Amino acid sequence: MPQSKSVTKFMGSYMSEIIIDVAKYYTDKLMQYGSSPKGVDWKNEKDQITRFEQLCKVIEDENRFAINDIGCGYGALYQYLLDRYSGFTYCGIDISEDMITAAKRLIGSKENVSFDVASIPSLISEFSIASGIFNVKLEYDNSKWHNYIITTLDMMDRHSTKGFAFNCLTSYSDADKMRSDLYYADPCILFDHCKRNYSKWVSLLHDYGLWEFTILVKKE
């Protein structure tokens, strides 16, 4: 599958390998299920909305803002934002070219929306959000995947002036239900990393009924 330079130049050779493999995984899901929650490997729309509710707490009461959607898939977050905010500018990036094609087809051409096949946003925005991009580690070992997460968080920090948010599957999941191809992060380790490296104002949300957590990093 062809990849843009902004995808394959991601930091480190094994990072580029991860991105190419993950892009193929999600492209296959899209081909199987279409532009739907299952097409981005979520169980259903209800849980997808619950995740968006947690992630968007980083935005608070603002209406006019720019946001980078890292791993935007078919653009579901844009639809969620459209029902709740006005005057925002949305940039969706995804490492799967087919996902970007699907997003453009679904949302169409709008003045406040842009999409790009990339792993790094082209612009710095007030906020960045990443939903689900750290879950599927495939055959990569936990150490490499953790480094991939930290590298991505560093990038999100550099591209967000007011804050960013992300979610991960939790290491507190029931052991007998864990899958070997998924990554279950330690929420305490990532909270500590964000607190020490990005901002004094960090929130850990681990109480919304899913086997995952959300971290909000606010800069003001």
Q: Are 216 and 203 in contact (CB under 8 A)?
A: yes
Rounded distance between C-alpha atoms, residue 34 and residue 139, angstroms: 25
**Which residue would you say has higher pLDDT here, 185 or 9?**
185
| Structural domain count, the chain | 1
CATH of the domain at 172: 3.40.50.150
Q: Where are the alpha helices (DSSP H) in 56-162?
A: 76-82, 97-107, 142-158
Rounded distance between C-alpha atoms, residue 137 and residue 12, angstroms: 17
Provide the domain limits for residue 87: 5-218
pLDDT tens digits for 130-163? 999 999 999 999 999 999 999 999 999 999 999 9
pLDDT tens digits for 197-207? 999 999 999 99
Mean pLDDT of 6-25: 66
Predicted TM-score of the model (pTM)? 0.90
Helix axes 142-158, 187-197, angle to 10 degrees: 40
